[in-house]
Structure 1
Amino acid sequence: MADNSTTQTQNTTPQTEPQPGAQTGQQAAPAIDYGKIQQMLDGTLAAKEDTALKAYFKQQGLSQQEVEQAITAFKEQKAANQPDVVGMQNQITETQAQLAASQKAAQAAQVENAATMMAVSLGIEAKTIPYILKMADLSQVMGEDGKINEESLKTAVNKVLEDVPALKPQMDGKTGFTQVGTGGNPAQHPQQTTTTNQTAVPTKRWNRWN
Structure 2
Amino acid sequence: YDRIAQILEGKQAATEDSVLKGYFKQQGLSKEEMEQAIAAFKQKKAASQPDVNAIQNQLTQAQAAAQAAQLQSAATIAAVSLGIDAKTIPYVLKMADISQVMGQDGKINDEAMKQALNKVLEDVPALKPQAAGSTGFVQVGAASGQQQTGASDDALKAAFGLT
TMscore range, shorter length: 0.5 to 0.7
| Residues 61-103 of structure 1: CA deviation (Å, up to 9, x unaligned) | xx9xx99x33651574266157417x736x3222222222222
The aligned counterpart of 2:132 is 179
Q: TM-score, normalised by structure 1?
A: 0.46
User: Of residues 64, 77, 83 in structure 2, which corresponds to 1:117?
Assistant: 77
What's the secondary structure of 2:104's corresponding residue?
coil
Judged with a 3 Å threshold, the aligned counterparts in structure 2 of structure 1 residues 75 and 104 are, in CA distance, closer, same or farther, namely same
Deviations 1:116-173 (A, max 9, x none): 1111111111111110011111112222322111122112111111221111123xxx
Alignment match, 2:116: 156
Q: 1:79 to 1:117 in 2, by over 3 A?
A: same
SS at match of 1:95: helix
Residue identity matched to 1:147: K
Q: What's 2:86 paired with?
A: 126
Which ranges in structure 2 are unaligned for 5 or more consecutive residues?
1-9, 141-163
TM-score (norm 2): 0.58
Runs of 4+ in 1 over 4 A off after TM superposition: 188-192
In 2, the alpha carbon distance for the partners of 1:115 and 1:190 equals 36
Higher relative contact order (CA 8 A, sep 6+): 2
- For residues 191 and 141 of structure 1, do their structure 2 counterparts lie closer, same or farther at Cα, with a shift above 3 Å needed? closer
* 2:132 partner amino acid: Q
Q: Structure 1 residues 104, 191: CA separation in 2 closer, same or farther (over 3 Å shift)?
A: closer
Which structure has the greater CA radius of gyration?
A: 1
Give the aligned residue type for 1:104. Answer: A
> Counting helix residues as a fraction of each chain, which structure ranks higher?
2
- Counterpart of 1:168, as a letter, is K
Q: Tell me how large the CA RMSD over aligned residues is.
A: 3.9
